Amino acid sequence: MTAKGTARRRAATGAIAGFLLRMARESVRSQSNTQVGMAETMGVDLATWQGWESGRRPLANVKAGMVLDIRRRLLALGADSCVLRMLDAAMDADRIISATTHPEEIRRHPLADWVHTRDTAHMIAWALNGTTPPALISRSTQSRRGPVAKAPLLSAPDRNTFFSRLRDAADSAVREGEDGLLLHRQALYLCSYDRATEASSWVGHALHARRDLIAARGWTPHWATARSTATALVRLGDSQPLLDFIDRAMVDDDTAETANLNYWAYWLGAIREPQANDGFMRERPTDWEPVRLLRGLANGLHQAPGYVDLYVHSLWALLTSHRWLPLADRELADQIALRTARLLDHDRISVRSRRELSAVAYVLRENRT
């Protein structure tokens, strides 16, 4: 590999976490918010700090104790706590991108070892297409002279390499049978972020080839793959498979309904512990935070209109099984009531969603008086 190629590769390996580190530094309101000042404050040389921010020296390669110390000291300096909270997801995203673009450097793809979260997916999307994660939309980078990157966006060649090799990983995972289920599901879902016409055709074909999973009724060992497939198809403009999935693979099946709420709980951060595979979804919930899950589902009602039917059904399932939840956060309950009323005024939701929203409205009224 040439020196230029090596430099480009290294620049991509820690770019997302480095970009967040820069945002955290710039959110500090003191004279130490320059690279020079922060390097002095942290007791490292300027080249090291610049390497972290640029991604040439990935934060994920720094000793855990030092990363923890940096985060705590940034917080003490007044850095944005939300930005600091996202650093773990950013380092995970960097690792996934690096492992995908350079598979020869790893023994096993990280997408095969753990179930990634929404924050991680948002970080990856940020690097692939520049879409700012919802948690960071209100945050902005410090204005400076000259051209300044607004996102940790991969170069076009790196992006093309990522998607090409991610498709290869998805294909190879199919040949691994049950052992490749998690890698295939997650790789195929991330492939749907590719906006190129030719790539969309490949993804569409690969997803439609799995439609037999969506047609299955109730819980099956492939339930999570079917759900992921249906939601990925929505991103490609095909919403019918998701409606079919809700009707066939969720409604009137207690295990599937439990799996759906567990899936959401993990995706939205109401389950904090990392999960090695999809098996946790079918277990009865014991340690997730229902109020946090309620808040995440409520936000999704207006943040992700393409998935409104899934959000509505999940909100209905949560509130009908935890009827006390509106009492736990009355302000949130009021917000949901307002959004529910607005959705019921529109005719762009399914018959099932309309019926379930009416039930949600009833539960809210019942527990707000």
pTM: 0.86
Q: Of the candidates 80, 168, 163, 87, which has an alpha carbon nearest to the alpha carbon of residue 125?
A: 163
Residue 119 near residue 269, CB atoms below 8 Å: yes
Which of the four pLDDT bands, split at 50, 70 and 90, describes residue 354? very high
Angle at 19 between CA 199 and CA 89, to 5 degrees: 70
pLDDT of residue 346: 77
Q: How many CA atoms lie within 13 A of 111 on its CB side?
A: 30
Q: Taking a C-beta distance cutoff of 8 angstroms, is the pair 216, 253 a contact? A: no
Q: Which pLDDT score is estimated for 125?
A: 94
Which pLDDT tens digit goes with each residue over 34-64? 999 999 999 999 999 999 999 999 999 999 9
pLDDT value at 8 more than 50: no
Q: What is the pLDDT of residues 70-99, one digit of tens each?
A: 999 999 999 999 999 999 999 999 999 999
**Angle CA 80–132–119, to nearest 5:** 70
Q: Given this model, what pLDDT does residue 200 score? A: 81
Question: For the segment 95-124, what is each residue's pLDDT rounded down to a tens digit?
Answer: 999 999 988 878 899 999 999 999 999 999
Rounded CA-CA distance 182/187 in Å is 8
Quote the tokens at residue 124. Answer: 């990856």
Q: How confident is the model at residue 366 (pLDDT cuts 50, 70, 90)?
A: confident
Q: Rounded to an integer, what distance in angstroms lies between the CA atom of residue 321 and that of residue 23?
A: 41
Mean pLDDT of the chain: 89
Residue 141 has pLDDT above 80, yes or no: no
Among 14-18, 142-146, 152-156, whose mean pLDDT is lowest? 142-146
Residue 257 CA to residue 169 CA, distance in Å, equals 30
End-to-end Cα, the chain, rounded Å: 69
Residue with tokens 């924050």: 119
Paired tokens of 173 = 């995972």
pLDDT of residue 143: 52
Residue 368: pLDDT above 80?
A: no
Give 146-199 pLDDT, tens digit per residue.
566 789 999 999 999 999 999 999 999 988 888 899 999 999 999 989 888 888
Predicted pLDDT of residue 204: 84
Q: Which of 147, 142, 168, 146 is nearest to 38 (CA)?
A: 142
